[in-house]
Structure 1
Amino acid sequence: MLSESKLTKIYQKLHQIPELALEEVKTKAYLQQEIAKLDQSYLEIKEISELPTALLVKVLGSDPKKTIGYRCDIDALPLTEETGLEFSSKNPGVMHACGHDIHMTVALGVLAYFATTRPKDNLIFFFQPAEESKNGGKLAYELGVFSGKWRPDEFYALHDAPELPAGAIGCNLGTLFAGTTEVDIHLYGKGGHAAYPHQANDMIVCASALIMQAQTIISRNVDPTKGGVLTFGELRAGTIRNVIAGEAMIKGTIRGLTQEMITLIQKRLQEICDGVAQSFGARVELNLNQGGYLPVENDPLLTNFFIEYMQNAPDVEFIETEPKMTGEDFGYLLSKFPGTMFWLGVNDVHALHSNKLVPDQTAILKGVNAITGFLCARMKQEKEVDA
């Protein structure tokens, strides 16, 4: 098992070499370097030529009845770090501002434990590229990575949480993260002189009407006891004050705690776009891109066992958490395999995706201990939780 000082060194090294989605070349090489130091007796490595920065490691169980997957994301964000840490990012404009360096370090710690303490069941560690964008989990699944002997029966993953105490485990039954959809709307009318509006078709007015109507989707179509968000964060139109804009572009995001809710919002937005197009005599094109960012819906039976274990583990501080409207592509894998995603507290005043995020490193070993304990308990069950 890796010591706390070794885990700290690994974390600080990973923090210095952040890379964007599908560009995690140095990150993967460093992971391979650390994995190569472990006892290889029960380890099997798999690489994917079509997804070259991904890495899978299988620990062969002594008497396997099932295969348990553990996913760890490895990419970073396009942010310039402002933490002032001695081990700050050495890659200008890129930072581990979402804590994936914490995720990787914990995963290496868990892997190191089972490399020397052989598990009963098979374990598959999936070091996944492109969580922040480009749907790394979906890409891997569609490439057939999780087939044959590499198919897990259940999947687990963590996400760090600045608002929770360092090392605390948080989880809830049901949805942990919302599903997300990127929204792009292009409006086409007719430009003209500001003094002759009757000779033009103003897309600023059209876009304004569309935005205002779209805001009624959440307030008048979504059950108020359920979660849904539609936010437009970008509107572009026009070039000068005395020219009527013939085109406009709106960009935004949909968030929902269930796929049913997301589908409802998508449907209503399409209907509003069609209606606005007709009423303004304009062409309105709506593009919706959800990709692999489905709601992270925890399996009820596996998650109930996970929560019971964490609540009763003597060295674990467990906190029941509320669903979040942030997105996570582990939701795609949970739509294909039963499993659980949970939080690991890292105790920082800065939010995820902040360029000043400084996770408390004492959370790492606590996370390793909690997860290894849970996996051992899961493998000791006489009966399957869904029996």
Structure 2
Amino acid sequence: MAQLTTEQLIDIRRHLHEYPELAMHEFKTHDFLLNTIQTFNQQNLEIRELPDLPTALLVYIQGSDPKRTIGYRTDIDALPVTEETGLPFSSKNTGIMHACGHDVHMTVALGVLNWFSEHQPKDNLVFFFQPAEESENGGKVAYEQGAFKGKWLPDEFYGLHDNPHLPAGAIGCRMGTLFAGTTEVNVDLIGKSGHAAYPQAANDMVVAAAEFIGQVQTIISRSVDPIEGGVITFGKLDAGTIRNVIAGQARIEGTIRGLTQKMIEHIVARLKQIANGVAISYGAQVNIQFNQGGYLPVENNLALTKRFIEFAKQDPATEFVETEPAMTGEDFGYLLSKIPGTMFWLGVDDPKSQLHASTLNPKESSIAKGIHSIVDFLEYRQQERN
């Protein structure tokens, strides 16, 4: 296959959009990606699969005069969302949708890979088609399985996320943290159930849960620097079985967001203190569990990001927008904690919608523009010999 045309790229994106798959189940997506890559010029390519992470793909491009290895990552999974776009290429997999735009991410990555299969780079390139970004932290799993050992270890890593609130094809980035880190929190409160008419003989966990939730609201408002910020959201509360029985147990489930790992650890510590206090006050057992997995803050490397932004600002093919940090999570943060790199936004111009919405409809004109900007940057980066 020669260079992919815009029409071919759109066909690829629409196929991927029609057949979305959930984390760790991206088997048909993997096969489609593999089959597509195998049609590219294979002269300098090496394709690698991971037996213990069977939906992942790695592609190595041998450089002509390598001084470094540059990595590029795309995520490939979808979300458990029922699509409501009405598009002729809407999801054919019931209850699953590329509502976060990973179909666009993959198409851009294939376009960049295709370019460099036809135009050998100076530096080595490693492309990582990563499963399970939305859940199960596929980046962390791949790293811990040794996916990036030896020649497969990039010296620097890049990746994008689409943004419906930026113009189609625009590149957005910032120094420092781009995305927040996220941590799941589960709280189990255990007391004693009893008859509604005899509260003195029971230990009501609805009341204890309400007190816990109320106290937690003071963490952000009174224990966090307003300039730094943080988020705690409890989205689920289960307690009781019937109106006239006092609930002896309650479970609260939520999420923590912070722009630095230090902030997340501070919020976690305060939650533990409140849990201990409620346990003492109510004579209850309060068990609190945290799970961050690979969803660390996406903290861009200062030196590499400075180069990236300087390039984007002067590149005539790139519309650059300096963006604010976002409280959304991304497991590329884990890889950036191990390998220096930069994550950036690709505008897809759908301002009436948002990421994870059932109506998300990225502008397809963003694909070719994104490929052009990324190819330009990677070629520019290879001219720098330090």
Supply the distance in 2 between the matched residues of 1:220 and 1:337 (Cα, whole angstroms): 35
Supply the distance in 2 between the matched residues of 1:44 and 1:315 (Cα, whole angstroms): 30
Partner SS state of residue 355, structure 1? coil
Q: Which residue of 1 aligns with 2:247?
A: 245
Q: Which residue of 1 aligns with 2:338?
A: 336
Partner SS state of residue 126, structure 1? strand
Supply the distance in 1 between the matched residues of 2:89 and 2:275 (Cα, whole angstroms): 49
1:228 pairs with 2:233: no
Q: Which residue of 1 aligns with 2:62?
A: 60
Supply the distance in 2 between the matched residues of 1:265 and 1:344 (Cα, whole angstroms): 31
* Structure 1 residue 51: Cα displacement: 0.2
- What CA deviation, in whole Å up to 9, does each residue of 1:193-237 have, x standing for no partner? 111111000000100111111111111111111020111111111
More displaced stretch, 38-47 vs 237-246: 237-246
Partner SS state of residue 342, structure 1? strand
Task: Give the one of 373, 379, 382 matched to 1:376.
Answer: 379
Supply the distance in 1 between the matched residues of 2:353 and 2:232 (Cα, whole angstroms): 25
Moved over 4 A (4+): none
Residue type at the aligned position of 2:41: D
Supply the distance in 1 between the matched residues of 2:221 and 2:203 (Cα, whole angstroms): 29
Name structure 2 gaps, 5 residues minimum.
none
Supply the distance in 1 between the matched residues of 2:15 and 2:234 (Cα, whole angstroms): 38
TM score, norm. by length of structure 2: 0.99
1:102 pairs with 2:108: no
Supply the distance in 2 between the matched residues of 1:225 and 1:93 (Cα, whole angstroms): 39
* Structure 1 residue 382: Cα displacement: 3.1
Supply the distance in 1 between the matched residues of 2:215 and 2:14 (Cα, whole angstroms): 48
Residue type at the aligned position of 1:123: L
Partner SS state of residue 54, structure 1? strand
Supply the distance in 1 between the matched residues of 2:297 and 2:217 (Cα, whole angstroms): 22
Supply the distance in 2 between the matched residues of 1:43 and 1:158 (Cα, whole angstroms): 22
More displaced stretch, 157-166 vs 234-243: 234-243
RMSD: 0.6
Name structure 1 gaps, 5 residues minimum.
none
- What CA deviation, in whole Å up to 9, does each residue of 1:251-275 have, x standing for no partner? 1100000000000000110111011
Supply the distance in 2 between the matched residues of 1:278 and 1:48 (Cα, whole angstroms): 49
Supply the distance in 1 between the matched residues of 2:200 and 2:311 (Cα, whole angstroms): 69
Partner SS state of residue 54, structure 2? coil
Query: Is contact 2:67–2:385 with CA below 8 Å preserved after alignment?
Result: no
Q: Which residue of 1 aligns with 2:216?
A: 214
Supply the distance in 2 between the matched residues of 1:54 and 1:336 (Cα, whole angstroms): 19
Partner SS state of residue 237, structure 2? strand
Q: Which residue of 1 aligns with 2:370?
A: 367
* Structure 1 residue 140: Cα displacement: 0.1
Residue type at the aligned position of 1:341: M
Supply the distance in 1 between the matched residues of 2:385 and 2:182 (Cα, whole angstroms): 38
* Structure 1 residue 344: Cα displacement: 0.3
1:354 pairs with 2:357: yes
Supply the distance in 2 between the matched residues of 1:106 and 1:227 (Cα, whole angstroms): 33
Q: Which residue of 2 aligns with 1:70?
A: 72
Q: Equivalent residues in 2 for 1:132-143 (5 A)? A: 132-143=134-145
Supply the distance in 2 between the matched residues of 1:227 and 1:326 (Cα, whole angstroms): 13
Residue type at the aligned position of 2:371: V
Q: Equivalent residues in 2 for 1:269-284 (5 A)? A: 269-284=271-286
Q: Equivalent residues in 2 for 1:1-387 (5 A)? A: 1-348=3-350, 349-383=352-386
Partner SS state of residue 335, structure 1? helix
* Structure 1 residue 315: Cα displacement: 1.4
* Structure 1 residue 35: Cα displacement: 0.4
Supply the distance in 2 between the matched residues of 1:285 and 1:36 (Cα, whole angstroms): 51
Partner SS state of residue 327, structure 2? strand
Residue type at the aligned position of 2:331: D
- What CA deviation, in whole Å up to 9, does each residue of 1:118-151 have, x standing for no partner? 0000000000000000010000000011111111
Supply the distance in 1 between the matched residues of 2:25 and 2:203 (Cα, whole angstroms): 44
Partner SS state of residue 326, structure 1? coil
- Residue identity over aligned pairs, in percent, reads 64
Supply the distance in 1 between the matched residues of 2:48 and 2:265 (Cα, whole angstroms): 36
Supply the distance in 2 between the matched residues of 1:202 and 1:68 (Cα, whole angstroms): 57
Residue type at the aligned position of 1:252: G
